[in-house]
């Protein structure tokens, strides 16, 4: 239930976006006339400097004023172009997750509270912070390993960020519910579900034990992969609010000039990056979902090391097959098969005509054939695909949208290393091997094995299912004979909830009215 404080927080958000010129800069093509009029009025309240800035600059300034949790919200929405639009998502992708550091004494307190031991007992040295983001900051340190000292990176959660994010998330839920209630065309995007995904993603990111677990899982998956690895986790010095990992000495992939100076083969690095990402996606169904240049380092021997696993994505068997068959269908120009995969997976409602959908898919695929391979973007292809599926009422699939956004980023990094990079040539060994293994006779055998396991589980659960069915039958019979009845406590609870809802609504209206009066007074 939304509180008056939530409404007040929402008004503050709107006021900051208004003053920094964000509202007037939102793309207006698809907005209704009333919204366009509101945009025109919004320009009257902008700060003067905002009128001469790019939209991304306005967004950055507004988010900086709103606080660190809004940086994370903005970065999350950048992964959801289906929700905020491609242009706005591109601007949000430029949000810089660089915040002021908090005092080392607070970091020491967080470490000791999380691990139950003193910093001096855990570390030979605990350095000053070298980087700070919205959720945490990083310190260099030294730990004793036998008779030697090893350098480590110590990531510590920002104090109070959980409580602050919980408060800010209430405003997000309020906006999502208002969208579903007053904007029927937005219901297809399931804004409340999107907000739940944001909440879950951020809760995971704020528990550093889960980031350590992601590092451990990726390390196990990639132990035999050429040219790619992740830092090792020091589990003895890892808890909810702190993760300690191996210190990586390497060149950031963002510094292309330094990579060239170090003698690295940029084309080979681009190929390794793409193939590693596709292996993680198709083979493992578990991938780094924030694989931008700042989170990638290159060691002296050319090995790519990925860091910062706060955001990860998972794909089930169905989604992996979906992705592989789509790519294979476009390569072979089998557009009917691509359409069939969408219907078979249940992504496009069955009432649509498959032939019409295949025609729309052809409109995407045919312009690709005949172009030089290095100019064809796999990420752009998926972006166009999701735009077309919107016309056929395909509901948002968060895991697929996250994959598509990550592929855009990874492909972009590869192209900064080698502008003429041939994405399809690099991807073919991985995608082709996965298709041969999983879409041929082996897949049939695997499906049969999985079906047998499922049948065994159903057989084991049969007695419990029968018992529950019998109870349900008795309850339905009793309900038909006596009607649906609430016990006194349930009826009283419903009454109290309705009364609270009415009071909150009245209080919220007063808060909004008072806030508008204050804003008007300031303007005068």
List residues with catalytic annotation.
290
Contact 297, 251 (CB under 8 A): yes
CA distances from 60 to 11, 42, 158, 290 (A): 19, 18, 20, 19
Contact 35, 23 (CB under 8 A): no
Closest CA to 81 of 333, 403, 320, 297: 403
Contact 276, 397 (CB under 8 A): no
Rounded Cα distance between 418 and 260, Å, is: 12
Closest CA to 312 of 211, 408, 435: 211
Closest CA to 308 of 259, 250, 354, 243: 243
Half-sphere exposure of 395 (CA within 13 A, CB side): 11
Residue 493 dihedral angles phi and psi, to the nearest 5°: -65, -40
Rounded Cα distance between 233 and 247, Å, is: 10
Contact 324, 435 (CB under 8 A): yes
DSSP secondary structure of 87-152:
HHHHHHTT---------HHHHHHHHHHHHSS-HHHH-SEE----EE-SSEEEEEEEEEETTEEEEE
- Going 406 to 412 to 416 to 419, the CA torsion angle's sign is positive
Residues 6+ apart with CB under 8 A from 267: 417, 418, 421
Contact 73, 198 (CB under 8 A): yes
Rounded Cα distance between 134 and 247, Å, is: 21
Residue 224 dihedral angles phi and psi, to the nearest 5°: -105, 5
Looking only at the bridges linking them, the beta strands covering 304-306 and 296-298 are: antiparallel
Contact 342, 358 (CB under 8 A): no
243: left (phi over 0), alpha (psi -120 to 50) or beta: beta
Half-sphere exposure of 314 (CA within 13 A, CB side): 6
């Amino acid at each position: 239930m939304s509180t008056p404080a939530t409404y007040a927080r929402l008004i503050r958000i709107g006021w900051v976006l208004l003053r920094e010129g964000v509202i007037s800069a939102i793309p207006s093509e698809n907005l209704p006339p009333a919204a366009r009029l509101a945009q025109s009025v919004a320009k009257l309240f902008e700060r003067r400097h905002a009128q001469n800035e790019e939209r991304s600059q306005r967004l950055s300034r507004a988010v900086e004023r709103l606080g660190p949790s809004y940086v994370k919200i903005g970065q999350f929405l950048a992964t959801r172009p289906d929700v905020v639009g491609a242009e706005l998502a591109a601007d949000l992708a430029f949000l810089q997750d660089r915040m002021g550091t908090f005092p080392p004494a607070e970091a020491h307190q967080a470490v000791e509270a999380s691990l139950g031991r003193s910093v001096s007992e855990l570390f030979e040295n605990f350095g000053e912070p070298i980087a700070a983001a919205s959720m945490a900051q990083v310190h260099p340190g030294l730990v004793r390993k036998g008779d030697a000292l090893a350098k480590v990176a110590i990531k510590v959660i920002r104090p109070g960020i959980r409580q602050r994010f919980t408060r800010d998330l209430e405003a997000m839920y309020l906006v999502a519910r208002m969208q579903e209630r007053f904007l029927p065309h937005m219901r297809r995007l399931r804004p409340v579900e999107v907000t739940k995904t944001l909440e879950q993603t951020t809760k995971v990111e704020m528990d550093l034990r889960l980031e350590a677990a992601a590092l451990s899982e990726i390390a196990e998956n990639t132990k035999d992969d050429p040219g790619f690895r992740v830092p090792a986790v020091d589990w003895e010095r890892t808890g909810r609010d702190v993760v300690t990992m191996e210190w990586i000495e390497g060149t950031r992939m963002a510094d292309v000039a330094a990579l060239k100076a170090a003698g690295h083969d940029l084309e080979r690095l681009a190929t390794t990056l793409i193939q590693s990402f596709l292996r993680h996606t198709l083979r493992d169904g578990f991938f780094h979902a924030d694989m931008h240049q700042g989170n990638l380092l290159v060691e002296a021997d050319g090995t790519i090391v990925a860091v910062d696993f706060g955001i990860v994505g998972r794909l089930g068997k169905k989604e992996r097959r979906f992705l592989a068959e789509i790519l294979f269908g476009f390569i072979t120009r089998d557009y009917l098969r691509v359409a069939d995969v969408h219907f078979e997976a249940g992504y496009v409602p069955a009432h649509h005509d498959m032939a019409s959908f295949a025609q729309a898919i052809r409109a995407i695929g045919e312009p690709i054939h005949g172009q030089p391979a290095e100019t064809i973007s796999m990420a752009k292809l998926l972006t166009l695909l999701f735009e077309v599926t919107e016309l056929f009422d395909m509901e948002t699939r968060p895991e697929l949208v996250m994959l598509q956004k990550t592929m855009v980023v990874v492909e972009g990094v590869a192209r900064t290393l080698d502008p003429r990079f041939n994405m399809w040539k690099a991807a073919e060994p991985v995608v082709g091997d996965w298709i041969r293994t999983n879409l041929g006779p082996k897949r049939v055998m695997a499906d049969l094995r999985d079906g047998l396991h499922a049948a065994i589980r159903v057989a084991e659960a049969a007695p419990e299912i029968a018992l529950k069915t019998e109870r349900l039958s008795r309850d339905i019979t009793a309900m038909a004979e006596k009607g649906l009845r609430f016990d006194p406590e349930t009826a009283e609870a419903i009454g109290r909830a309705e009364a609270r809802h009415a009071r909150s609504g009245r209080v919220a209206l007063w808060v909004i009215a008072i806030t508008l009066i204050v804003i008007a007074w300031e303007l005068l």
